Amino acid sequence: MGSNVSRPVLGLTTYLQQAQTGVWDVRASFLPAIYVEGVTNAGGIAALLPPQPVDDDIASRVLDGLDGLVITGGRDVDPATYGHAPHPTTDQPADDRDAWEFALLRGALARRLPVLGICRGAQVLNVVLGGTLHQHLPDVVGHTRHQAGNAVFTTSSIRTVPGTRVAGLVGESIDAQCYHHQAVATLGRDLVVSASDTVDGVIEAVEIDTTAHPDSWVVAVQWHPEERLDDLRLFAGVVEAAQTYSMRRVNA
């Protein structure tokens, strides 16, 4: 990005839960630094968006200051939001974070703000657009390879769908770092599948259908691109889209 061009500002959603640092054990908003590094290394400015009381007006005021939005990984989405009873393995819902991210995402979609969803972020996008989730993939595919547990990421071979934004960013295939026991089941409206696992067909990326919405840049991957900062292609994609959005807004 040229030095004479202002860097775009991208908001990243955060956790809000009990955390320890030094002698302190408190409820805190935080995000692993690798998410921030993904945005900044790709040329963007990162702004953290902690869960807080929200309505559409508050979400709109926050989005006014952003050129792009990243919905990050974390706790399972509350299954009540897509009309399902909880599976025994599903996390206790974080209602404050669900409400916050749902409001931000609805507002971002309405104004065609570029969006990158990561892991939970892909699930949030699908649910906001009326889709559903598989709550526990081992019940569906018969193995735990997508989430080995104990904070150990596994490598999945993923094939992209030709002609999608994801394929344009990462090519025909990618070996990606995965840590998810849930995944997209019924696809949300206006979404298309843009990548799947080559072994069991689990949906690994979705995006807004650009044939129907050519001005929208909304991509969500089930894997964790922040775990491989030697490959910034997805972060570079959303930063570039955010730069275009910023310039369009200035020139409007």
Would residue 224 show up in a list of annotated catalytic residues for this protein?
yes
Find the catalytic residue in 101, 204, 207, 226. 226
For 249, other C-beta atoms within 10 Å of its C-beta total: 12
Would residue 226 show up in a list of annotated catalytic residues for this protein?
yes
Rounded to 5°, angle at Cα 91 from 89 and 93? 145
Find the catalytic residue in 119, 146, 178, 207. 119
Find the catalytic residue in 134, 180, 181, 224. 224
Would residue 37 show up in a list of annotated catalytic residues for this protein?
no
HEC profile of the chain = CCCCCCCCEEEEECEEEEEEECCEEEEEEECCHHHHHHHHHCCCEEEEECCCCCCHHHHHHHHHCCCEEEECCCCCCCHHHHCCCCCCCCCCCCHHHHHHHHHHHHHHHHCCCCEEEECHHHHHHHHHCCCCEECCHHHHHCCCCCCCCCCCCEEEEEEECCCCHHHHHHCCEEEEEECCCCEECCCCCCEEEEEEECCCCCEEEEEECCCCCCCCCEEEECCCHHHCCCCCHHHHHHHHHHHHHHHHHHHC
Point out the residues that are catalytic.
Answer: 119, 224, 226
